[in-house]
């Protein structure tokens, strides 16, 4: 019989469905396993570790029994399957202009982490910081001061392992942690299983998570801008400047390369991560606080950075309420159902798209995670749309397509891709939104 380590290596890592969360590495009793950088983002190097059964149970790469996790963590299934279990939804931003401008959308995650730290509710925050240990890399780091948390503001759109930090927490200290959806689900399972370090995480915060890119996206971008290999990158910001921000890369020779967020989206079909394609959770449903961009014509016209803010636990709701009361956050109440209109496309991409993509992988003999949920309704037309999307990602991900991309100036591909994206969105909208408002998830028989 295969050991847990062999099963994870064969059925998850080698099968190409490891999300790089780091949970298995955190469970190596000998502490030899570690996450290593690969072209597919961080992946575990087990180094002969003898992992416990728990490593298999919590692995989000092989899948998560979401129905069981909702029940175990929240005590019930969601009333709204697009949003998950929640307390309240608001829109808003940090009232501190420095924090708001440092943040990816409204600086709400950063300000909440600062508040938790400065009010003594936690001793430190575990955040993800671009530029660590080198400008093109990003790592989870321990932030013990306001300045540390601010330095990690902004979204990092390449995969970063976070849970491998658990064995390095100081005993008896309380932490807040920023996680992506797969990591939050694994962390909650560790907490439910009584894992000591996981239980030191008192607050889990995270962004709404659509798509992330493999690290090669940046290499391709640099080549397309004719940056010679010897001209090293000195800094990278994914969302510099005014919301929604732009990619900004500085090089040793003094070049400053920028690309509007809506333009560098053209990298997505070529470099989208497998985790983005397989995960069904967009709104980060197992965080105490989930925050996304408030994409709406009203907020986009106002500018300045606006977030949609979803609390999911009573204790986090009390924290956000207190912050609003103290004038630290400027917020207004948002109708939960109406808030979903800001992200209809991505919600469908995750809830129905990921289900179809995972089914298609299995049909073609490839491994795919099992989440135990089936979206309903799922009309045939939705399958047809997904076939087109999947074909696009399949072709885009080939070496030839990526090479061709390097030769198309971004001034051409950026606006062209944006135009095509909007056309496709408009054309596929009736199919993608059909039945989305009433979507339910049916627990599948094992
Ligand atoms: C990969 C990814 C995809 C996203 N896709 C969407 C989308 O499709 N639609 C949408 O509305 N919003 C999306 N977001 C969320 C959005 O970019 C903002 O993060 C969110 O609005 C919070 O903004 P903020 O100003 O409150 O965050 P900030 O105040 O800037 O704080 C962000 C916090 O998140 C942490 N963080 C950043 N990147 C990561 C990461 N990769 N893993 C773990 N922690 C991280 C930082 O350390 C920081 O503490 C995505 C974010 C990420 C990381
Ligand atoms: S998804 Fe996470 S737990 Fe599973 S193999 Fe990958 S790093 Fe380990």
Atom of ligand 1 nearest to the CA of 239: 17
Residue 129: strand pairing partners: 139
206-236 pLDDT, tens digit per residue, is 999 999 999 999 999 999 999 999 999 999 9
Work out how many domains the chain is built from and give that number: 3
- pLDDT for 446 equals 60
* pTM for this entry: 0.96
Ligand with minimal distance to 17 CA: 2
CB distance 114 to ligand 1 below 6 Å: no
The answer on 307 and 159 residing in a single domain is yes
The answer on 304 and 159 residing in a single domain is yes
Domain boundary, last residue among 342, 376, 397:
342
The answer on 281 and 188 residing in a single domain is yes
CA distance 48 to 350: 35
Residue nearest to atom 53 of ligand 1 (CA): 155
pLDDT over 70 (residue 350): yes
The answer on 333 and 206 residing in a single domain is yes
pLDDT over 90 (residue 397): yes
* Choice from 2, 10, 11, 13 to test ligand 2 binding pocket (greatest atom count within 8 A of CB): 13
The answer on 138 and 155 residing in a single domain is yes
Domain boundary, last residue among 323, 342, 361:
342
- Residue 238 forms part of a structural domain: no
The answer on 381 and 357 residing in a single domain is yes
CB distance 212 to ligand 1 below 6 Å: yes
The answer on 203 and 283 residing in a single domain is yes
CB distance 206 to ligand 2 below 6 Å: no
The answer on 180 and 117 residing in a single domain is yes
Q: Tell me how far the alpha carbon of residue 32 lies from the centroid of ligand 1, in angstroms.
A: 30
- Residue 219 forms part of a structural domain: no
- Residue 225 forms part of a structural domain: no
Residue nearest to atom 8 of ligand 2 (CA): 24
CB distance 20 to ligand 1 below 6 Å: no
CA distance 49 to 34: 10
| Residue 167: domain span | 75-213+276-342
Confidence of residue 413 (pLDDT cuts 50, 70, 90): confident
132-150 pLDDT, tens digit per residue, is 999 999 999 999 999 999 9
CATH number at residue 149: 3.40.640
CB distance 184 to ligand 2 below 6 Å: no
- Residue 162 forms part of a structural domain: yes
Domain boundary, last residue among 285, 310, 342:
342
- pLDDT for 445 equals 67
pLDDT over 80 (residue 263): no
158-203 pLDDT, tens digit per residue, is 999 999 999 999 999 999 999 999 999 999 999 999 999 999 999 9
């Amino acid at each position: 019989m295969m050991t847990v380590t062999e099963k994870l290596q064969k059925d998850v890592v080698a099968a190409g469905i490891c999300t790089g969360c780091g949970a298995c590495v955190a469970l190596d009793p000998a502490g030899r396993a570690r996450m290593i950088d690969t072209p597919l983002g961080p992946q575990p190097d087990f180094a002969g570790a003898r992992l416990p059964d728990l490593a298999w149970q919590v692995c989000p790469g092989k899948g998560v029994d979401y129905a069981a996790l909702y029940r175990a963590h929240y005590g019930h299934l969601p009333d709204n399957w697009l949003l998950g279990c929640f307390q309240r939804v608001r829109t808003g931003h940090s009232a501190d202009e420095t924090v708001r401008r440092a943040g990816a959308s409204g600086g709400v995650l950063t300000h909440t982490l600062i508040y938790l730290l400065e009010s003594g509710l936690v001793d430190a925050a575990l955040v993800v910081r671009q530029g660590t240990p080198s400008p093109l890399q990003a790592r989870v780091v321990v932030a013990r001061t306001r300045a540390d948390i601010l330095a990690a503001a902004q979204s990092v759109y390449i995969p970063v392992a976070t849970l491998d930090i658990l064995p390095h927490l100081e005993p008896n200290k309380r932490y807040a942690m920023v996680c992506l959806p797969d990591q939050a689900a694994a962390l909650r399972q560790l907490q439910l299983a009584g894992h000591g370090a996981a239980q030191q995480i008192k607050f889990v915060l995270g962004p709404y998570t659509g798509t992330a890119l493999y690290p090669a996206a940046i290499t391709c971008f640099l080549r397309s801008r004719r940056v010679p290999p010897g001209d090293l990158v000195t800094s990278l910001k994914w969302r510099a400047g005014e919301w929604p921000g732009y990619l900004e890369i500085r090089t040793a020779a003094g070049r400053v390369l920028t690309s509007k967020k809506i333009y560098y989206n053209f990298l997505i079909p070529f470099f989208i991560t497998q985790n983005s394609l397989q995960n069904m959770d967009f709104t980060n449903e197992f965080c105490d606080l989930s925050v996304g961009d408030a994409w709406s014509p009203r907020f986009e016209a106002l500018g300045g950075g606006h977030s949609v803010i979803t609390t999911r636990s009573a204790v986090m709701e009390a924290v956000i309420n207190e912050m609003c009361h103290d004038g630290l956050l400027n917020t207004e109440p948002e109708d939960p159902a109406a808030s979903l209109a800001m992200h209809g496309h991505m919600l469908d991409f995750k809830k129905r798209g990921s289900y179809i993509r995972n089914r298609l992988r299995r049909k073609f003999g490839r491994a795919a995670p099992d989440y135990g949920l089936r979206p309903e309704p799922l009309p045939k037309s939705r399958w047809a749309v997904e076939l087109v999307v999947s074909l696009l990602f399949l072709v885009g991900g080939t070496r030839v397509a990526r090479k061709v991309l390097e030769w198309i100036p971004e001034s051409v591909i950026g606006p062209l891709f944006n135009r095509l994206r909007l056309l496709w969105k408009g054309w596929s909208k009736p199919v993608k939104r059909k039945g989305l408002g009433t979507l339910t998830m049916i627990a599948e028989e094992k």
